[in-house]
Amino acid sequence: MVEHVRERVAAIRNRIAEAARRSGRTGDEVTLLAVSKTHPVEAMKKLLDGPVDGFGENRVQEALTKRALWPDGGGLPWHMIGHLQRNKARKALDVFDRVDSLDGVDLARTLERLLQETDRVLPVLIEVNCSGEDAKSGVSPAEAEALLEAVVSGCPHLAVEGLMTIGPLGGREGEVRGAFALLRELRERLRSSFALALPVLSMGMSGDYVWAVEEGSTMVRIGTALFGQRSYD
Ligand SMILES: *Cc1c(COP(=O)(O)O)cnc(C)c1O
């Protein structure tokens, strides 16, 4: 599987490009995040020279361990895509270039306080739970506005670039597309009420990225279809 990871990137890029054309866009308007959680650094190194746009990890400790083995100057950004506990925020800032799973005001304030120490600005996405599944993190669509307001007014070291969601797992096509369309419409609303660009819509994983791109995704997060099945989660 790992031997063929580069061919898989090319095949996924092709499907992204076709889906982007169907939504009136081009494939280069969609970035591809390789979700490397649970997979070894050796697998990630196959992508070192940049056929993908970054790596996604969901655990701070795992990412720290891997990044210590990562070659200096390996320039792709590392994205935190899982729920971040506040007591791990400082470590997360050591290892991640961006946090795509901002899901609460308390976390935003904790990150802001830590970022102030070095006057660093962190790009973030607000994670929205568009399918109402209890097990999922992310704010509800209704809470997203209040979280964005809190960040814009009180967290100058957080740069909100857009929204992220996880589609309903195992959902039917209509249901999955509906969740993605909800995120897109929420982005349009927030854009006009806050006068922010919010260019990033991170949606789409191995099982649903073609639908996500057709629904306007600008960033897909692909694990299994690139690296194979995970042995644990
Ligand atoms: C694991 C994970 C992915 C990748 O899922 P695959 O189905 O393996 O492509 C994407 N996004 C998030 C937030 C994840 O936790």
Q: Is the pLDDT of residue 231 over 90?
A: no
Q: Which two tokens stand for residue 1?
A: 């599987």
Q: What is the pLDDT of residues 178-202, one digit of tens each?
A: 999 999 999 999 999 999 999 999 9
Q: Is 232 part of a structural domain of the chain?
A: no
Rounded to the nearest angstrom, the distance between the alpha carbon of 224 and the centre of ligand 1 is 8
Rounded to the nearest angstrom, the distance between the alpha carbon of 119 and the centre of ligand 1 is 31
Instruction: Kindly state the percentage of the chain with pLDDT values over 70.
Output: 97
Q: Give the pLDDT of residue 141.
A: 95
User: 164: pLDDT confidence band, cut at 50, 70 and 90?
Assistant: very high
- Does this model's pTM top 0.75? My answer is yes
Q: What is the pLDDT of residues 32-53, one digit of tens each?
A: 999 999 999 999 999 988 799 9
Q: Give the pLDDT of residue 133.
A: 82
Rounded to the nearest angstrom, the distance between the alpha carbon of 229 and the centre of ligand 1 is 11
Q: Is 149 part of a structural domain of the chain?
A: yes
Q: Is the pLDDT of residue 3 over 80?
A: no
User: 232: pLDDT confidence band, cut at 50, 70 and 90?
Assistant: low
Q: What is the pLDDT of residues 110-148, one digit of tens each?
A: 999 999 999 999 999 999 999 888 878 899 999 999 999
Q: Is 229 part of a structural domain of the chain?
A: no
Q: Give the pLDDT of residue 160.
A: 98
What average pLDDT does the chain have?
95
What is the atom index within ligand 1 of the atom nearest the CA of 233?
1
Rounded to the nearest angstrom, the distance between the alpha carbon of 11 and the centre of ligand 1 is 18
Rounded to the nearest angstrom, the distance between the alpha carbon of 97 and the centre of ligand 1 is 18
Instruction: Give me the residue label for tokens 């992508």.
Output: 47
In angstroms, the Cα distances linking 29 to 16, 26, 79, 173 are: 10, 6, 18, 23
Ligand 1, atom 10, residue with closest C-alpha? 221
In this structure, are residues 180 and 217 in contact, taking their beta carbons and an 8 Å threshold?
yes
Q: Is 150 part of a structural domain of the chain?
A: yes
Q: Give the pLDDT of residue 50.
A: 78
Q: Give the pLDDT of residue 233.
A: 56
The residue with greater pLDDT, 174 or 49, is 174
Q: Give the pLDDT of residue 157.
A: 98
Domain count, the chain: 1
Phi, psi of 117 (to 5 degrees): -55, -35
**3-class state of residue 89 by DSSP:** helix
Q: Give the pLDDT of residue 182.
A: 97
Residues with CB under 6 A from ligand 1: 35, 37, 58, 81-82, 166, 205-207, 221-225
Q: Is 121 part of a structural domain of the chain?
A: yes
In this structure, are residues 202 and 221 in contact, taking their beta carbons and an 8 Å threshold?
yes
The enclosing domain of 146 has a CATH number of: 3.20.20.10
Q: What is the pLDDT of residues 8-33, one digit of tens each?
A: 999 999 999 999 999 999 999 999 99
Domain span at residue 218 reads 2-224
Q: Which of 86, 67, 65, 87 is nearest to 77 (CA)?
A: 67
